[in-house]
Amino acid sequence: MAINKSKVAVGFIVVGVLTVFFGTLLTFVGPLIIDDQVVKNTVIDPKNEMSYTMWRDVPVPFFMSVYFFHVLNPKEILAGEKPMVEQRGPYVYRKRIQKDNITFHPNSTVSYKEYRSYYFEPSMSVGNESDVLTLPNMLVLGAAVMLESLPAPVRMIISMAFKTFDEGPFLTKTVGELMWGYDSKLVNFLNKYLPGMLPSSGKFGLFSEFNNSDTGLFTIHTGKDDIRNVHKVVSWNGLTELSYWRTPQCNMINGTAGQMWPPFMTEESTLPFYSPDACRSLELVYQRSGEMKGIPLYRFVAPKTLFANGTDYSPNEGFCPCRQSGLLNVSSCRQNSPVFISHPHFFNADPVLLDYVHGLSPNEEDHGLFIDIHPLTGVPLNVSIRLQLNLYMKRVRGITETGKISEVVMPMLWFEERGYIDGPILNTFHTNLVVLPAVMEYMQYGMIALGLATIIIAAFVRYRVKRHKCGGGATSEGEASASAGEKDPLLQDDVD
């Protein structure tokens, strides 16, 4: 049985057209399929096993590195000279984060408390918790500034109390004591007779209220009703706005809780989040795109206006009373203690702050904060949050412990909280969000290319077959006519 090549070619043309059609259709449908899967997997729902587990337990290894500013010249500072500091550390702690008391509500929100605990990592640290350091005594120098407006006799009584409880302007303690607390007769006295004056009721330490504690009761959107709202904070400790600051804008609770953000980010997106530790909402801005082990990312960083004062950036007027740009006054949420937050080494701050202290050298690589986000899902891939704790100190008349201290914003320590996706989670992330979309993209363009190639080849074959038939048919008919002319007597007679 002879094969009809023309019909076969037509069949291949039809197949090629269908292949191009489905490949073209896939270019439109493919992204929709991926987006639909992203939406399903980023909604906060126990049915989404992987994403829900990531949100609930944060399995990514998180570390807090603490750098202290060891004071080299405490006696000279009391005489009015510039402080001279030396950075010590890092002292690294593994941070364990876990959500508890998780309650889902009918209005597509969920409430929870997030607990955190810290474990010292000697192998990652430069030094040990037994290292001895000298720092300004916040109980004395901070209290002196707080009580400066009291009558002179009262200030003198306070100074006598400091001497009674053996509290000087500087203290020399181990890293462990500075971090998690040390026994103080003054602290015990204040907690007994003036409860609530200090942030903690036990030992006094710079991080004592952080360890084995929660960050408050958060209520956030699950994204079930609108994926654009997923992770956004509805309320914190029952509050929809704060009361620490002077303007409604500064008291707003904006963005997420700082761990994940809504999907489908663009270069125009920002990263707003509420930080209970900073007592305010913060917002990072897009800096650049990049990759982490083949996974696309957007890097978001702190704008220079983040800690700018109200003079340099008017929207920040509500965070005042302000000092130089680069300092956030958090006294309103820290029992009125003269405490300021900044970037490490006063990075992105008014240069005059560097003139008041010897031993600082800011640079973006070591002291700038950033969050690398996978823009399609809003999941952080690499995080480094760096902040510095500073104490405003000065000479206060009547409190002899302050000596002749010059007015200065004194750096106490800075810390970095960092974490990045790695291991099985990174592999799963890479497979689902890089490999599969790439395979789908190659498939759609491969189908279009294969379909076009099939159409062209089949059309060429059909053309050749048709041409061969046409050419062959004319020759046969001519030969037949000539033969018939030779044998037909009537034609022969006409010729004669």
pLDDT of residue 408 exceeding 50, the answer is yes
In this structure, of 16-25, 193-202, 380-389, 420-429, the range with the lowest mean pLDDT score is 193-202
Closest CA to 188 of 164, 213, 217, 216: 164
Which pLDDT belongs to residue 477? 46
In this structure, of 7-21, 163-177, 368-382, the range with the lowest mean pLDDT score is 7-21
Which pLDDT belongs to residue 493? 46
Where is pLDDT greater, at 412 or 49? 412
What's the pLDDT tens digit per position in 161-216? 889 888 899 999 999 999 998 888 877 776 665 565 555 556 788 888 888 888 99
Q: What's the chain's Rg over C-alpha atoms?
A: 36
The whole-angstrom separation of Cα 259 and Cα 213 is 18
Which residues neighbour 399 within 8 Å (Cβ) at sequence distance 6 or greater?
Answer: 144, 147, 155, 156, 158, 159, 162
The whole-angstrom separation of Cα 369 and Cα 418 is 10
Which pLDDT belongs to residue 364? 93
pLDDT of residue 12 exceeding 60, the answer is yes
30: pLDDT confidence band, cut at 50, 70 and 90?
Answer: low
pLDDT of residue 443 exceeding 80, the answer is no
5: pLDDT confidence band, cut at 50, 70 and 90?
Answer: low
pLDDT of residue 92 exceeding 80, the answer is yes
Where is pLDDT greater, at 357 or 456? 357
What's the pLDDT tens digit per position in 239-273? 999 999 999 999 999 999 998 899 999 999 999 99
What is the value of pTM for the model shown? 0.83
Residue 72, CA distances (Å) to 76, 119, 358, 450 in order: 9, 29, 10, 74
Mean pLDDT for the chain? 85
* Segments making up each domain of the chain, as ranges: 43-436
Are 278 and 385 a contacting pair, CB within 8 Å?
A: no
The whole-angstrom separation of Cα 4 and Cα 492 is 41
